[in-house]
Amino acid sequence: MNIRFYNARILTMQDANIIEGELWVQNERILYVGDGTDVDSVYRELSLGSIVWDREIDCNGNLLMPGFKDAHTHSGMTFLRSYADDLPLQNWLNEQVFPMEAKLDGEMIYHLTKLAILEYLTSGITAIFDMYLTPETIAEACMDMGMRCVQVSGQNNFGPATEVTEDRFLKLNKMNPLLSFFIGFHAEYTCSKELLEEVAALSHKYKAPVYAHISETKAEVEGCKQRYGMSPVKLLDSVGMFDYGGGGYHCVYLDEEDMDIFRKHDLSVVTNPGSNTKLASGIAPISDFLKKGINVAIGTDGPASNNCLDMFREMFLVTGLAKLREEDAAAVDAWEVLKMATVNGSKAMNLPDTDVLARGKLADLIMIDLHQPNMQPLNNIAKNLVYSGSKQNVKMTMIQGKILYEDGRFTQEYDVEEIYRKANEIINNLR
C-alpha cells in the first residue's frame, strides 16, 4: 500500500531537528522523508515516473516520529490489573501472581495479550519485548493484531526445559516478519546455577544474546551475595551469560563493577520506573548508566505491576525520578529520554530497522497531535513530549506500513468489545 503523509512536522530521531515536509510509505517500508523540494530527483533515482497513492494524509502540521519501543512487557498479565496491588515484590509474586498464573492456559493468554495490544496502540507503542508463559499463543495474538513483538524466554526452576526454549528459538524466529524470539530466563533467584549454566551454553551454541530480570530489589542482590558471594551481574558474567550480549530488566541496584560488565559486553539496561515505583523497589541510577555509555531503554513492565501501559508516563518518570535521585534538575535531559523510548529501545530489542525515520527503514511510526493545549506553545517539541505529553496526543499508530489506530479508533477488524468481554470472563473464572 502506498501512503503519502504531507504537511507534516517530522522528528526522525537521527537528530533533534524537526523537518517540515512529507514522508512516503510503500508497503512495509519508508520510501522518502524530506521537505518535498527534492521529489523530482527522488523519482529519477527510484526510476519512477510517479506514484499512485492509495491514500494521501494531510498531517495539518502534526508530528511524525518513530513509534515507541516498550522494551519490557508481560502482556498476558492484563488479567491481574488492579487485582494484585499494594504489596512488596516478593509477596506480590508469591502470594498473588504465581498462584493465579498457575491457572492460566495458552488460550487465555492469547486473549489477554490482545487486550494489552489495544492499549499499546493507544500509547504509540509499535514494538514490545515480551516475556510470558506461552510464547506460541502470544505470537498468534501479535500476528492477528499486527503488533511487532520480540519475545524472550522466562526460563526458571519451574519450567520450561532448556530444550523447549531452544525449540521456540528455532521456530518463532522464522514464523513471521513481525516476530522474533531471544534466549532468556526469569531471574537469578528463580534459577539454579545449573540452569543458568544451561542457558549460557544455549547462548553460546547460537551466539545469541540473553535477557533477564536483574538486580530489581535490594533483597534480590543480597540473596545472591549470600548464595554465591557476588552480585547477580557478576554471577551471570562468571558463567559466560553475556558473551554474546543481551541485557537486563530493572537494574535498580547495579554497583560500579556491575556497570563495567554491562559496558564491556555492550548490554542494555531496560528501566521500568512505573513498576519500580509502585512496588517500592527503588530508583535506578540512570545518570550513572548514561555516564558509563550504557544503552538505556524503557519498559512499562506488566499491567499487574504498573498498571498502565503508557510510555508517556514512563518517560516522565525516568527523568523525574533521576532528578530526585541525583538532587539535580539538569539530570537526564528530555532528549535522552526520548531516545531511550525509541532509538535505544530498538537497539535493546535488536530491531535496527525501526530506530529512526529514514528511507528503507520499516514504517513503524506514529503521529502526535500538536493541536492540543498540552503541546502548545511549540517551544521545544521533544521536551513537550516528555514533560507534558500524554496518550491523548497519539493521533495515529502505524506498524509495518499498516495504520492500526487513528483518531481514537482501531482501524483493523478488531472486535474490541469482545476482547474486553473475554478478558473479564477469564478473570471471573479464575477467582
358-374 per-position pLDDT tens digit: 999 999 999 999 999 99
Q: Residue 126 to residues 88, 119, 230, 365, 411: CA-CA distances in angstroms?
A: 31, 11, 38, 7, 15
- pLDDT band (50, 70, 90) for residue 93: confident
The full DSSP string for 310-325 is: -HHHHHHHHHHHHHHH
As a whole-number percent, the residues of the chain with pLDDT over 90 amount to 92
- pLDDT band (50, 70, 90) for residue 97: confident
For the beta carbon of residue 20, count every other beta carbon within 10 angstroms. Answer: 11
pTM: 0.97
- Helices of type H across 123-210: 135-145, 162-172, 193-206
The fold of the 2-66+354-410 domain, in CATH, is Urease, subunit C; domain 1 (2.30.40)
pLDDT at 83 over 80: yes
Task: Between 303 and 89, name the one with better pLDDT.
Answer: 303
Report the candidate in 149, 215, 113 with the shortest Cα–Cα distance to residue 399: 149
pLDDT in tens, 9-33: 999 999 999 999 999 999 999 999 9
Task: Please tell me the total number of residues recorded for the chain in this structure.
Answer: 431
Say how far apart CA 79 and CA 189 lie, in whole Å. 25
- pLDDT band (50, 70, 90) for residue 44: confident
Residues 30 and 358: beta-carbon distance below 8 Å? yes
Report the candidate in 117, 151, 138 with the shortest Cα–Cα distance to residue 349: 151
Say how far apart CA 161 and CA 195 lie, in whole Å. 9
Q: What is the pLDDT of residue 431?
A: 83
Q: Answer whether the bond into residue 156 is a cis peptide, omega within 30°.
A: no
pLDDT in tens, 403-413: 999 999 999 98
Q: What is the pLDDT of residue 39?
A: 83
Q: Answer whether the bond into residue 377 is a cis peptide, omega within 30°.
A: yes
- pLDDT band (50, 70, 90) for residue 158: very high
Residue type, 355: D
Q: Which cell is 62 given?
A: 502534526
Q: What is the pLDDT of residue 250?
A: 98
Residues 349 and 127: beta-carbon distance below 8 Å? yes
As a whole-number percent, the residues of the chain with pLDDT over 70 amount to 100
Say how far apart CA 114 and CA 111 lie, in whole Å. 5
Q: Which cell is 28 given?
A: 512495509
Say how far apart CA 369 and CA 359 lie, in whole Å. 23
Q: What is the pLDDT of residue 45?
A: 84
- pLDDT band (50, 70, 90) for residue 322: very high
Q: If 0-12 CB within 10 Å is exposed, 13-18 middle and 19+ buried, where does residue 226 land? A: exposed
Residues 300 and 77: beta-carbon distance below 8 Å? no
Task: State the average pLDDT over residues 126-148.
Answer: 98
Residues of the chain with CATH 3.20.20.140: 68-352
Q: Answer whether the bond into residue 160 is a cis peptide, omega within 30°.
A: yes
Residue 207, CA atoms < 13 Å, CB-side half-sphere: 0
pLDDT at 91 over 90: no
The CATH superfamily label for domain 68-352 reads Metal-dependent hydrolases (3.20.20.140)
